[in-house]
Amino acid sequence: MNLRNLAETLTITLMAILTSMVLYGVFILTYTSLGQIFPILGVKSGVIWPGELFVTMFEGSFGGSFSWRNTLTRAAPLILTALCTALPARLGLIVIGAEGALVLGGLGATAAGLALIGTPVSVMLVGMAVASMIAGGLLIGLVGALAHFRGVNATISSLLITYIAIGVFNYLVEGPMRDPASLNKPSTYLIAEDPILGSMPGLPDVHWGLGIGVACCFVLWLLMDHTTFGFAARMAGGNIRAAQGAGLPVGRLILLTCFLGGAAAGLAGMVEIAAVHRQANASLIAGYGFTGILVSFIARHHPLGIIPAAVLFGGLSASSGFLQRRLYMPDASVQLFMGIIFVVILLFETFYGRFRVFAPREVREAAAK
């Protein structure tokens, strides 16, 4: 991506975010104002003005060391799940199955962790990482296989496979893998009494999942933008028939790219198990996979753009508790804001290529004549 394209992307993305803020602020202001007239709406606070709303959200996301730690911790799985959408998108496939890959990756990591109890922590972590990447990679690889060999729409198949994966997860956690002592909340046995994935140096309470996610983004950026494999993938994404005519192994490219995306999302499941939950249960199904779709789209499926986008959405997620305590707003209000951002980002896709200032000089000169 050259500087002109980068400037265009940043400008349009900023416009989309500002538009989303206006729409969200107007909605909250209108709703809370009506709540003062109609008690049936259940508004517990007074009228919430947009300025107060966004200042509170900023304080909850980035207003202090605790807020930053909470934001970065929530951003870690979002970075990895966003890669599950971003990589297949290079081939023209819109895959939304990161949630399924995450839960199966977490389940695979738990099974590996339980099998490796008693071994050194480093061995346990490596085994859990490998198991999670294989589980997530095979799931999304199946989506790629269905798309290539049978012509099945990747968006639909990845969504349906996600629900199947969640069903398998629930069956195993509540059945064969369940700890009999977990009565109220079915869970597997603990892999350890304390989290085995520690905090990053200089960032207390921010586990190494963040570092793993950032490293994966850089490695996959190099792979997709600076190797012959990435060039071939971009060619296939631009025109599959032309790529096939040029002799490129399109099927292999699709399968491997989908596997890598699924492996990244599966690794997010391992990170959550090793650093947070220490066992598999329903808490793992937290929506990180679905939010990762939004992160990928706002980053325009660029691996490096995913990092700041994930921090932004991690901050929005972290602010939900702050909004609830300060302004008595439900957690779902933040989900509403994320949904508005997603829709507006899609609408603003039509602006790419429309601004003459971002066009090459030759194009601007030709248009001026």
Q: What pLDDT sits at residue 354?
A: 73
Residue at 302 is within a domain: yes
- In whole angstroms, what separates CA 147 from the centre of its chain? 22
> Which residues fall within 8 angstroms of residue 4, CB to CB, at 6 or more apart?
358, 360
Residue at 364 is within a domain: no
Residue at 136 is within a domain: yes
Give per-residue pLDDT as tens, 205-242: 899 999 999 999 999 999 999 999 999 988 888 778 88
Distance between CA atoms of residues 369 and 365, nearest Å: 7
Q: What pLDDT sits at residue 18?
A: 95
Q: What pLDDT sits at residue 273?
A: 95
Distance between CA atoms of residues 326 and 1, nearest Å: 42
DSSP string for 22-56: HHHHHHHHHHHHHHHH-GGG---SS---HHHHHHH
- Based on the structure, what is the number of domains in the chain? 1
Residue at 286 is within a domain: yes
Give per-residue pLDDT as tens, 10-34: 889 999 999 999 999 999 999 999 9
Write the CA distances from 282 to 62, 285, 353, integer angstroms.
Answer: 29, 6, 44
What length does the chain have?
369
Give residue 83's domain range.
77-306
Which strand (E) or helix (H) includes residue 308?
Answer: helix 306-327
- Kindly indicate the confidence band of residue 312, based on its pLDDT and cuts at 50, 70 and 90: very high
Q: What pLDDT sits at residue 358?
A: 66
Residue at 89 is within a domain: yes
% of the chain residues with pLDDT over 70: 95
The pTM assigned to this predicted structure is 0.91
Residue identified by tokens 């909850």 is 60
Residue at 298 is within a domain: yes
- Kindly indicate the confidence band of residue 201, based on its pLDDT and cuts at 50, 70 and 90: confident
Residue at 197 is within a domain: yes
- Kindly indicate the confidence band of residue 1, based on its pLDDT and cuts at 50, 70 and 90: low
Taking residues 328-335, report their average pLDDT: 87
Give per-residue pLDDT as tens, 49-91: 999 999 999 999 998 888 999 999 999 999 999 999 999 999 9
Tell me the helix, strand and coil percentages in the chain, rounded to 5. Answer: 75, 5, 25
Residue at 55 is within a domain: no
Q: What pLDDT sits at residue 240?
A: 81
- Kindly indicate the confidence band of residue 369, based on its pLDDT and cuts at 50, 70 and 90: low
As given in the structure block, the two tokens for residue 58 are 């900023």
Does pLDDT of 359 surpass 80? no
Instruction: List helix spans (H) across 50-153.
Output: 50-62, 65-89, 98-115, 121-150
Mean pLDDT of the chain: 90
DSSP string for 179-217: -TT--SS-BB--S-SS-SS-EETTEEEEETHHHHHHHHH
